[in-house]
């Protein structure tokens, strides 16, 4: 039966080449855009080195102080993390890292701008970096504020022309660091991405240990069987004991642990967010809504084309009805035909998306982006094609099943 439908669909596709081309163009373009969007998300939010344990890593990306009608929201400071988020039950490992700041160096009259991230020693255990040379700094280096540095592959090329870098020196913002390790580049959309990594204690600012709000991005690696809700609950109960420092009007301090996806939802949420809950569901709805909105126009376009193509096939439908085909059979038949068409469009879109992604990689719009198509994205692409196929096929199929056999056989309406 299915083979029959598909053969028929193929015949119909060949009948009016212009219409087929228009349908395929619309479908594949729509799916290119959606596939590229999915690929960008996948690139930001999938487990990939060095974030091999991405699924059980939570970050604290925002914290907030409130009091007397004033709100101060920013990344958490070291004191908040140190006083309230150390040794949380269910957390296997935690690391404190800065968001990364711009550091300027001059090499032989050339200016080099790099992102410099300050981290603790656990950073290298939470994230599994691939070392091309040397190794990471340890707890002793961090405690004694030794001026050592791990750099990425691109920085090695920029500073030393790709030659071995271990033992050589880099001047960044007036500090002289000795290079002890070289790691692979990490795409800039990922949390642990930077050009240069240095021990936390080598920061120029002095009072970072005393701040509740600052520019740190602590990350927490949960134990295998730990539940995020329990860890959050413990953090909230600890933070509720916070007392504002002397001579300040701040009343409350709040923060939460979230997956990067939930953190993105919080950032996109209009209005003030609640730190006792997460915003993953909100983001899912937002994305589904945006995807449906984007599909609406192409879908209606396709519905229009499909409806007018059905009228061409009125006699065929009439014959089938006269021989006893039920409305349901016809609906199924048409849906299968339409799905076949959109899946062909989807596969074309998937291939085209490959080109788009490659040009995004080459454009340097996202530093160190390595956007690629993988099976996960393919599954997403096919799923989107099916949604699109149903969206654009249901109404024409229903119309088709309702045509009266007598009128249909006569070929008029």
Note the residues at the interface with another protein (CB under 8 A): 18-19, 22, 25-26, 29, 33, 67-68, 70, 101-104, 106, 109, 111, 113, 173-174, 203-211, 248-250, 294, 296-298, 300-305, 307-309, 311-312, 365, 399, 411
Q: Which is nearer to another protein, 25 or 169 (CB)?
A: 25
- Sheet of strand 213-214: strand arrangement: 213-214, 70-76, 63-67, 252-255
Q: CB of 70: closest distance to another protein in angstroms?
A: 6
Cα-to-chain-centroid distance, residue 173:
32
Q: Which is nearer to another protein, 203 or 329 (CB)?
A: 203
Measured distance CA(91)–CA(226) in Å, rounded: 8
Nearest to 79 by CA among 249, 263, 243, 274: 243
Nearest to 12 by CA among 4, 20, 3: 20
Contact 84, 257 (CB under 8 A): no
Q: CB of 184: closest distance to another protein in angstroms?
A: 26
Q: Which is nearer to another protein, 81 or 88 (CB)?
A: 81
Nearest to 313 by CA among 1, 2, 16, 7: 16
Q: Which is nearer to another protein, 170 or 222 (CB)?
A: 170
Q: Which is nearer to another protein, 2 or 290 (CB)?
A: 290
Contact 145, 201 (CB under 8 A): yes
Q: CB of 62: closest distance to another protein in angstroms?
A: 17
Rounded to 5°, angle at Cα 353 from 350 and 359: 155
Measured distance CA(252)–CA(71) in Å, rounded: 10
Q: Which is nearer to another protein, 134 or 298 (CB)?
A: 298
Q: Which is nearer to another protein, 347 or 352 (CB)?
A: 352
Q: CB of 342: closest distance to another protein in angstroms?
A: 14
Q: Which is nearer to another protein, 70 or 374 (CB)?
A: 70
Map residue 402 onto helix, strand or coil.
helix
What secondary structure letter does DSSP report for 190? S
Nearest to 220 by CA among 142, 98, 99, 122: 122
Q: CB of 206: closest distance to another protein in angstroms?
A: 5
Measured distance CA(118)–CA(185) in Å, rounded: 16
Contact 219, 57 (CB under 8 A): yes
Beta strands at 175-183 and 169-172: parallel, antiparallel or unpaired:
antiparallel
What secondary structure letter does DSSP report for 373? -
Beta strands at 63-67 and 57-59: parallel, antiparallel or unpaired:
unpaired
Q: CB of 243: closest distance to another protein in angstroms?
A: 16
Q: CB of 23: closest distance to another protein in angstroms?
A: 8
Cα-to-chain-centroid distance, residue 328:
40
Q: CB of 204: closest distance to another protein in angstroms?
A: 5
Q: CB of 40: closest distance to another protein in angstroms?
A: 12
Contact 80, 69 (CB under 8 A): no
Beta strands at 175-183 and 148-152: parallel, antiparallel or unpaired:
parallel
Measured distance CA(278)–CA(267) in Å, rounded: 11
State the first-to-last Cα distance of the chain, in angstroms, to the nearest integer: 29
Q: Which is nearer to another protein, 105 or 119 (CB)?
A: 105
Measured distance CA(356)–CA(343) in Å, rounded: 19
Q: Which is nearer to another protein, 37 or 325 (CB)?
A: 37
Q: CB of 301: closest distance to another protein in angstroms?
A: 4
Q: CB of 302: closest distance to another protein in angstroms?
A: 7
């Amino acid at each position: 039966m299915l083979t029959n439908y598909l053969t028929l669909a193929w015949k119909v596709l060949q009948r009016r080449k212009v219409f087929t081309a228009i349908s395929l163009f619309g479908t594949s373009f729509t799916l290119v855009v959606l596939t590229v969007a999915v690929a960008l998300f996948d690139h930001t939010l999938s487990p990939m080195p060095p974030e091999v344990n991405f699924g059980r890593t939570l970050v604290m990306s925002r914290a907030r102080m409130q009091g007397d009608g004033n709100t101060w929201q920013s990344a958490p400071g070291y004191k908040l993390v140190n006083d309230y988020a150390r040794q949380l039950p269910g957390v296997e490992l935690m690391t404190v890292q800065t968001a990364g700041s711009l550091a300027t160096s001059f090499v032989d009259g050339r200016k080099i701008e790099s992102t410099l991230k300050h981290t603790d020693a656990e950073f290298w255990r939470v994230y599994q970096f691939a070392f091309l040379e040397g190794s990471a700094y340890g707890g002793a280096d961090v405690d004694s504020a030794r001026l050592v540095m791990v750099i990425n592959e691109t920085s090695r090329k920029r500073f030393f022309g790709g030659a071995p870098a271990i033992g050589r020196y880099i001047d960044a913002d007036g500090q002289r660091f000795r290079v002890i390790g070289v790691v692979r580049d990490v795409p800039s959309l990922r949390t642990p991405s930077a050009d240069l990594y240095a021990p936390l204690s080598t920061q120029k600012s002095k009072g970072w240990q005393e701040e509740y709000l600052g520019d740190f991005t602590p990350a927490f690696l949960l134990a295998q069987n730990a539940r995020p809700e329990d860890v959050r609950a413990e953090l909230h109960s600890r933070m509720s004991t916070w007392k504002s420092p002397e001579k300040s009007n701040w009343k409350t301090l709040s923060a939460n642990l979230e997956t990067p996806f939930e953190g993105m939802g919080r950032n996109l949420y209009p209005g003030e967010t609640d730190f006792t809950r997460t915003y993953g569901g909100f983001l899912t709805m937002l994305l589904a809504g945006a995807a449906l909105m984007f599909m609406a126009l192409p879908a209606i376009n396709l519905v229009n084309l499909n409806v007018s193509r059905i009228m061409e096939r009125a006699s065929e439908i009439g014959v089938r009805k006269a021989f006893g085909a039920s409305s349901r059979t016809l609906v199924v038949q048409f849906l299968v035909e339409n799905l076949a068409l959109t899946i062909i469009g989807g596969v074309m879109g998937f291939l085209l998306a490959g080109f788009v992604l490659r040009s995004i990689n080459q454009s340097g719009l996202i530093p160190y982006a390595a956007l690629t198509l993988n099976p996960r994205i393919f599954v997403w692409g096919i799923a989107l094609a099916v949604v699109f196929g149903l969206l654009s096929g249901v109404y024409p199929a229903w119309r088709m099943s309702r045509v009266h056999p007598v009128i249909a056989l006569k070929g008029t309406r």
